[in-house]
Amino acid sequence: MAGPLTEFAVDMTCESCVGAVKDALRDLPGIERYDIELEDKRVTITGKTPPSQLLAALKSTERQVLVRGSGAVDPSLPPQAAISILESPISVPTTIAMALPESTKRELYGLQDDEFTQKVFGIARFVQIAPRSILLDLTVRLPPSQNAFRAYVSKTGNLVDPPATTKGALVDLGTITPDKDGYGDLFKEVDGELWEWIGRACVVEQDGVEQKKDVPEGTPSFPAGSVFAGVVARSAGTWGNDKTVCACSGRTMWEEGREMEGRAKGML
C-alpha cells in the first residue's frame, strides 16, 4: 500500500530553492516520490516518512514552510484528515516547565506557541489512507516523568476535566515513553474509520496516576502535568486548502506564518 500524500507550501523563488528542497529530501527514508511546483510554491510528497520529519527536512532549507494538507493516494477514497492539539487542562507550574533544559527545546511539528500556561504539549495528525486504516503521526514534548504515557481516542470530546469527562478509551493508540528531555512520538497505522473519531478527544495520560477524590466542583481531579488532551477536528486534505490570503486579516499565509514563528521564538 502506498503511503499518504502530504502537501506543503514552501516559499521558493528560484531554481536554487528547488535544488535546496531536493537536497533536503534526497536521503530521507520512506519517500516514494515527490513533486516540486516552483510557480505555485508547492511540494507534495508520497510515502511513509512521518510528516514531522518531512517538515523538519524542508525547514532545514531555511525557507518558510507551511503544512497545507494530507490525504490518501487512492483517488477513490474521499479525503479525510484530522488534527488534535494536545493541551494541559490546567496550568502547568513553572517549576515543572523549567525542568526542561533550555538547550533541548525544539519546535514540534505544526506547533507555533510555546507558552507554559495552558500550553500546547503536542500534536496528533490523522489521515485515512485506506478503508479501516488510519495513519497516526503524534509528537509530544511532556514534563519530565519516570512513567510512560498512554495515548488513545476517547469516547467523548468533553475536555472540562479529562480523562474523567472524556469517559475512557474508544481506541487505543499506543504507549509513549518520552526521552530524558520529554520528547516522544508515535507513527503507526491504526484500525478505524476517521469519521467516527471526529469530535471525540485524543488523550495522552500518564500511567499510574490516580484521580483525586472529593475535589471541589470545577477543580481538575488529576495532577498537573499528567494528562494532555485535544478535540479531534477535521483538517484539510491534500489539495483541499488553496487559500493564500486570509479573508479576516487580508495578510498572506507567509505573513501570518512569520508572525507566528516570531511569537514562538520570542517565548523561547
Whether residues 116 and 227 fall in one domain: yes
pTM recorded for the entire structure: 0.70
pLDDT score, position 81: 87
150 in a structural domain: yes
**Mean pLDDT across 64-76:** 79
Q: Say whether both 12 and 90 belong to one domain.
A: no
CATH code for the domain in which residue 39 is found: 3.30.70.100
Name the least confident of 39-53, 92-106, 116-130, 225-239. Answer: 92-106
Q: Is residue 18 part of a domain?
A: yes
Tell me the three cell numbers of residue 142.
511532556
pLDDT at 86 over 50: yes
Residue 224 has pLDDT above 90, yes or no: no
DSSP for 67-91 reads EEEEE-S-TTSPP-EEEEEEE-SSP
Strand partners, 127: 81, 135
58 torsion bin: left (phi>0), alpha (psi -120 to 50), beta (else): alpha
**Pair (172, 253) in one structural domain:** no
Q: Write out the residue range of the structural domain in which residue 227 sits.
A: 81-234
Do 94 and 227 have their domain in common? yes
Statement to judge: residues 176 and 263 lie in one domain: no
Same domain, 171 and 136: yes
**Helix/strand/coil percent split, the chain, to 5:** 15, 35, 50
Q: Model confidence over 43-60: pLDDT tens digits?
A: 999 998 888 889 889 999
Indicate if 249 and 219 belong to the same structural domain: no
**Is residue 112 situated within a structural domain?**
yes
Claim to verify: residue 16 and residue 135 sit in the same structural domain: no
- Give just the sign of the alpha carbon dihedral 136, 224, 114, 95: negative
**Number of domains the chain is built from:** 2
% of residues, the chain, pLDDT over 70? 71
Structural domain includes residue 76: no
Residue 116, in any domain of the structure = yes
CATH number of the domain where residue 124 is located:
2.60.40.200
C-alpha cell at 165: 469527562
Same domain, 215 and 113: yes
Tell me: do 228 and 244 sit in the same domain: no
Residues 97 and 152 placed together within one structural domain of the fold: yes
Alpha helices, DSSP H, located in the chain: 15-26, 51-59, 94-97, 253-267
Least confident of 75-89, 106-120, 165-179: 106-120
| The Cα angle at residue 63 between residues 54 and 32, in degrees rounded to 5 | 30
- Return the C-alpha cell found at 213: 477524590
Q: Is the peptide bond before 216 cis (omega within 30 degrees of 0)?
A: no
Report if residue 91 sits inside a domain.
Answer: yes
Same-domain check for residues 230 and 117: yes
Q: Is residue 93 part of a domain?
A: yes
Domain assignment present for residue 107? The answer is yes
